[in-house]
Structure 1
Amino acid sequence: MMRKRSTWRALCQLLTDGTDITHETLDTVGRPGAGMLRSFLVVSGVLPERDERFHAFEQWIQRTAQTVIDDADRRSFIGFARWRHLRKARSHSRTRGQFAGQRRELALVCALLHMLHTHGLAVRSADQATLDVWLADGPAERLRVKSFLQWCRANGACKTLAFPSRPAHSLPAVFLIPEHERTALLGQILDPQQDIDPGLRLAAGLVIIYGFRCHEITRLSLTDIIVAQEVVLIRFGADPLRLPEELGEYARQTAARRSITRFGGAAEDTQWLYPGPLHGHPISSSALSKRLAAIGVRPRAVRGVALGHLAQQLPPPILARLTGLAPSTTVRWNAAVSASYARNLPSLNASPE
């Protein structure tokens, strides 16, 4: 990281300008370079901590709000964003993907407001016919503006508007690869003769055995690893999972070897199980996905097999508590397994051989 030219250029620019080094002055530097430098300055005590994802999201909301022409609609947009998204993000940290989903919802709200303006309307004068035409003339995700209009109705900013029911979600795909391939892949990952980093072994095992997604694994903190006498537990949901002995040993090693090279040299991270190059952040899910692919693990393919087997063995409420999945999601996985078996039942109309 010390060889990052863009980072050094950003630092030299700040020192040459002679201005006070603050988060605000770093914001003017732009990317690339500012992110790694900011992380280094925070660790060094030059700058205070700041949640960069939250800050970027807050700034995006302000910029997007300026594109809303009607003053009342702009105030409604900002009020809704603060109530639904910023308020929750302050109390619970969000991943990059979660912030992207929230931006998408607010972008759809903004698209609705622009459409109303082109028809000479605003939220306060929106009518059912105009809303129905807009919903029917676009993708199903436009239904996500329902929360915004309900919030406006609750705050007296618009009248009651009806929404069609959301289309039912299709069941997840299960058993996409043969079980013997999954078993062989797990044996390769756990084989001590293979030259694989313990942290990568642990991540691969969590994917193959339990079907965890990369962003769920990267969000693990040190406190999520619980060493209790002869066993190792890991917490994704309300109740911790007991890891198999081999995987538990790799979890111990992962927790013990967590140094990371950042701008300024090697650093120790006391928060994340998989620390990233930026202070206060774990590695990205895309980075972990690439590392898993390099050793032959395709998370999407093995996830269906892993969760399919777990859904066979555990009731949906128990599966939810162990994996952190929503109860409705574990019910869908249970239904997917049942549907898979139903498709393979012999037909009643089949003629005997």
Structure 2
Amino acid sequence: MNALFSAERLAARPELIGIRDALLAADGAYLYEFMKKTTSPWSVLHRLVAGNEPITHDAVDAASRPGTSLLRSLLVDTGVLPERNERLVAFETWIERTALSIIDEADRRTYLGFARWRHLRRARQHTTLTTAQAAGHRRQLTYVRNFISALHAQGITMSTAGQAAVDAWLAGGPPERACIKAFLQWCRTNGINKNLTVASPRPSPLPAVLLLPEHQHHALLVRVLDSKESIDPALRLAASLVLLYGIRNYELAALSLANIITTAEGVWIRFGPEPLHLPAGLARFAREAVSARSVTRVGRTTDDQQWLFPGLFPNQPIDPRTLSSRLAAVGIKPEKTRSTAMGQLAQQLPPPILARLTGIKASTAVRWSAAVAASYARNTPWLDAPREPVGTRDKKTFLN
């Protein structure tokens, strides 16, 4: 450490002082792990610091070694590198890489043109490209590539394909395949093939309800709300919001402190146009979560003034996949848990109110209500035994 950050080098490159100080402030065991392997971030940092070239994002990208994201976080946190939207950079790289799987050169150019014009351009318009937004762009482009690959398997290209090939491909898979409609429209506009369209997409199936039996859902709620359970306050709040209101993990991950409104009268969390008023029991957890936030970056605890769940990178929230893992550790499987919570809410709230409180689209709220009605029509045993309306006893007992 002393040899790399010598007095002479620090005098010539004062921007390195912050890096040295951050490493010296790190936990000793963590720093040892950081430095001991030749393929570790330390070896990359050693090369960057010992060299005479400026330290840039491109230089870190060129390293292409495990742990470079951790190193980049350190360099940004200490002001050596400017912040950049890492998800946007990763998405742009993903587009270029996946295009290589398209054999026909003309179709590869078509794919790249559409991906850059529609998806990359839209991704750049986001102030912060979230994990969910990036996943949505990737999912749609994956369907486009799969469609092109299916054509190539038949000896057809985008310029020679007929409507029958489109119809056959759409019929052979899930309704989500209809998302290539925008791609075909782009091809028509740009003269690549003016004869292809997606006529009438098949309706998507209604969401599944009660994937988690209600007695199990109730038991999870009891455990999460039990103050004797050793659960981090923010994680307890997140688990409660999934169990009671069906909030999705990527929405929880993106919760900023500005979304949490605390007054003497209570606590509200904003997911949609209308803030969600938390019951007294949950409000207590929310206050604890706001006051007990920290994140460990490069072996040192750092305060964050923006996010309820701070992430690895400065000014970025936690990755939703990381939050999902933490929820799973306390027994919460978001998909199953959400299906039961949303089913219960759809029983009690009209779709417009459900949409305004939880932030889902109005059409999605209608679909949840329809799913509940369809479940009753099939005589699905929603409740284990006759009891009060769903959720009433739980909230009375545990949240007040």
Match for residue 87 of structure 2 among 39, 53, 57: 53
Q: What does residue 243 of structure 2 align with?
A: 208
State the TM-score, normalized to the length of structure 1: 0.87
Aligned to 1:151: 186
Higher relative contact order (CA 8 A, sep 6+): 1
Q: 1:162 to 1:286 in 2, by over 3 A?
A: closer
CA distance in 2, matches of 1:345, 1:294: 30
Which position in structure 1 is the counterpart of 2:121?
A: 87
- C-alpha distance in 1, partners of 2:214/2:148? 50
The offset of 1:233, in angstroms, is 0.5
| Partner residue in 1 for 2:362 | 327
Q: 1:1-353, aligned counterparts within 5 Å?
A: 2=31, 3-5=33-35, 6-65=40-99, 68=102, 73-92=107-126, 93-114=128-149, 116=151, 122-136=157-171, 141-163=176-198, 165-263=200-298, 265-344=300-379
More divergent stretch after superposition (169-178 vs 315-324): 169-178
CA contact (8 A) 2:159 2:193 kept: yes
Q: What SS class does the counterpart of residue 63 from structure 2 fall into?
A: coil
- 1:42 is paired with a residue whose SS is helix
Counterpart in the other structure of 1:349: none
CA distance, structure 2, for counterparts of residue 87 and residue 102 of structure 1? 11
Corresponding residue of 1:350: none
Give, in angstroms, the shift of residue 269 of structure 1.
1.6
Q: Which moved more, 1:152-161 or 1:52-61?
A: 152-161
2:34 aligned partner, one-letter code: K
CA distance in 1, matches of 2:226, 2:104: 63
Structure 1 residue 252, shift from structure 2 partner? 1.4
Decide whether the 8 Å contact of 2:270 with 2:276 is kept in 1. Answer: yes
User: Could you tell me whether the CA contact under 8 Å between 2:85 and 2:129 is conserved in 1?
Assistant: no
Structure-2 separation of matches of 1:114 and 1:181: 44
2:279 is aligned with what amino acid?
A: P
Change beyond 3 A, Cα 1:261–1:117: same
**Per-residue deviation, residues 252-293 of structure 1 (Å, max 9, x unmatched):** 121122111101622122221101222233222232222222
Aligned residues: 346
Q: Deviations over 1:69-122 (max 9, x none)?
A: 666544433332223212221222333343234223223323444555676654
Gap runs ≥5 in structure 1: 347-353
Q: Percent identity?
A: 53
**Relative to structure 2, which stretch is displaced further, 200-209 or 169-178?**
169-178
Q: Taking structure 1 as reference, are residues 42 and 118 closer, same or farther at Cα in structure 2, changes over 3 Å only?
A: same
Counterpart CA distance in 2 for 1:164 and 1:193 is 57
Q: How far did residue 150 of structure 1 move?
A: 0.8
8 Å contact from structure 1 (residues 40, 264) kept in 2:
no
Kindly provide the CA deviation profile for residues 293-339 of structure 1, in whole angstroms up to 9, marking residues without a partner as x: 22233323321221111111111111111111122211111011112
Change (3 A) 1:145 1:227: same
Q: Which amino acid aligns with 2:342?
A: L
In structure 2, relative to structure 1, the CA distance for the partners of 1:267 and 1:159 (3 Å cut) is: same
Contact 1:10 1:33 in 2 (8 A): no
Q: What is the CA distance between 1:189 and its match in structure 2?
A: 1.6
Any idea what SS the aligned residue of 1:4 has?
helix
Which residue identity is paired with 2:270?
A: R
Letter in 1 for 2:116: R
Asked whether the 8 Å contact 2:175–2:204 carries over to 1, the reply is no
- Return the alpha-carbon distance in structure 1 between the equivalents of residues 173 and 222 of structure 2: 47
In the alignment, structure 2 segments of 5+ residues that lack a partner are 1-29, 382-400
Range moving further from structure 2, 281-290 or 176-185: 176-185
Counterpart residue identity of residue 273, structure 1: L
Q: Give, in angstroms, the shift of residue 216 of structure 1.
A: 1.7
Deviations 1:17-47 (A, max 9, x none): 4432100000011131110111111111111
Bigger shift: residues 109-118 or 164-173: 109-118
